[in-house]
Structure 1
Amino acid sequence: MTHPVASTASALVDLDDEALAEAVKLLGTTSETGMVNAALREVVDRRRRAAAVARMREMVAEGVVDFSVLEART
């Protein structure tokens, strides 16, 4: 089924009805537009967190960050 999606940008997209219904429930939204916007924000946030973890791992590998100092305190 084709669902109109309206926000700052408008598009007509074909969405999986079962996935749409489950996403609406999981994201706690009340509309298709709200679900799409919430899903987009979740994807962006998840990717940003993953990039931050990757940067932290690089810093640890380079010796910029040393977690052993924290371990010594416990």
Structure 2
Amino acid sequence: MKIVGKRIVEKEISFEPRGDYLKEIATWNDTIKEIRFFPKGIYRYKTHEEADEHYLNCFANKIAKNELKNYGRSEKSND
């Protein structure tokens, strides 16, 4: 039998907070907060394809900017 992927064990739901879960959620929240990649404004598109293209371009630009910020490389260097 061929096994594809790995099953992710879901975390147990609890009514009492646990420190490790709170830390993990705080880290996730801080990460998500910085990922806003659309410039503020109102956007109107003629087609869904045009909207998807704009979404992907904004997302790719945000990822590139984060990489430059995280690794400290200049945009002009090709090394």
More helix by share: 1
TM-score, structure 2 normalization: 0.35
More strand by share: 1
TM-score, structure 1 normalization: 0.38
